[in-house]
Amino acid sequence: MAGFYRANIDYLTQHAISADKRRYVDSTEARRHFLNADQYGKDPFKRIPHNWYDAAAKYTADTLDKYGTVPWTIQYNYYRLVRAFKEHDTTAILNTSANLGHYIADAHVPLHLTQNYNGQLTNQTGIHALWESRLPELFGDHYHYYAGKARYIQNPLTEAFKICRSSFARVDTVLRFERLLDRSFPADKKYAMVRRGQKEVKDYSAGYAEAYQKMLKGMVQRRMRESILSVGSYWYSA
């Protein structure tokens, strides 16, 4: 398996963002990338049934779609990958592996588990890209990515909910630390012009990002490592 995936790493890398691209042409795609867990109350993971039909019976399918379906999307794509392996369909294996990996990775991002996904409800608009893009962009070369051997996943849906619960537990820290930093950091040094291709755009400054990175004590690196292990484990299990 390692040889197969390594031989196709360029294809997998290219299609790792296909799920995001589909959002522009498929109106049903966005819901597959998140779960607004806090819409279900203070202790959402004690309330939401794991089984889709039980959850739909309790909340209605429209409600589940509205507030995100990432754990069920992971389960669905896992079984699609199982089928692709059984059918020895190489193209389907690679495409489904890329899609499944994308959804698993999204589930590891705390801000994919809250209605306040971009800090828009707490005057922190932009925090999603700060956590998910700016920090890895600046410091990712120094992260350690070796995550150890894949493990067999007995129940893909239970595991998906476990990932979501773990991410949701970090939402408060992600938002609270940035609020604290914003109060203490010089306002005129919070943002800087950053080159993106041929353009210069306004983004969080390297100094602000570094201060936030230190406050988080390596959270982004840990979530990335956990994501890597989860993706490999789902592929291996399928």
CATH of residue 37: 1.10.575.10
* Assigned domain for 175 exists: no
Q: What is the pLDDT of residue 98?
A: 98
Polymer length in residues for the chain: 238
* Assigned domain for 44 exists: yes
Q: What is the pLDDT of residue 29?
A: 97
* Assigned domain for 116 exists: yes
Structural domains in the chain (count): 1
DSSP 101-121: HHHHHHHTSGGGGSS-TTSTT
* Assigned domain for 211 exists: no
Cβ within 8 Å of residue 27, ≥6 positions away: none
How far is residue 225's CA from residue 155's CA, in Å, rounded to a whole number?
21
Q: What is the pLDDT of residue 14?
A: 97
Cβ within 8 Å of residue 81, ≥6 positions away: 93, 96, 97, 100, 234, 235, 238
Q: What is the mean pLDDT of the chain?
A: 97
How far is residue 100's CA from residue 72's CA, in Å, rounded to a whole number?
11
* Assigned domain for 208 exists: no
Q: Are 104 and 98 in contact (CB under 8 A)?
A: no
Q: What is the pLDDT of residue 78?
A: 98
Q: What is the pLDDT of residue 186?
A: 97
| Weakly modelled stretches of the chain, pLDDT under 50 | none
Q: What is the pLDDT of residue 37?
A: 98
Amino acid at 118: N
* Assigned domain for 191 exists: no
How far is residue 1's CA from residue 45's CA, in Å, rounded to a whole number?
34
What's the pTM? 0.96
At residue 231, the 3 state secondary structure works out as helix
Q: What is the pLDDT of residue 64?
A: 98
Which residues span the domain enclosing 160?
2-169+218-237
In 3D, which of 94, 76, 92 has the Cα closest to residue 84? 92
Q: What is the pLDDT of residue 157?
A: 98
* Assigned domain for 74 exists: yes
How far is residue 157's CA from residue 221's CA, in Å, rounded to a whole number?
24
CA 58 to chain CA mean position, Å: 26
Residues 136-181 have pLDDT tens digits of 999 999 999 999 999 999 999 999 999 999 999 999 999 999 999 9
Q: Are 156 and 78 in contact (CB under 8 A)?
A: yes
Dihedral angle computed from the Cα positions of residues 39, 102, 122 and 66, in that order, rounded to the nearest 10 degrees: -30
Residue ranges with strand state E in 23-178:
none
* Assigned domain for 109 exists: yes
At residue 125, the 3 state secondary structure works out as coil
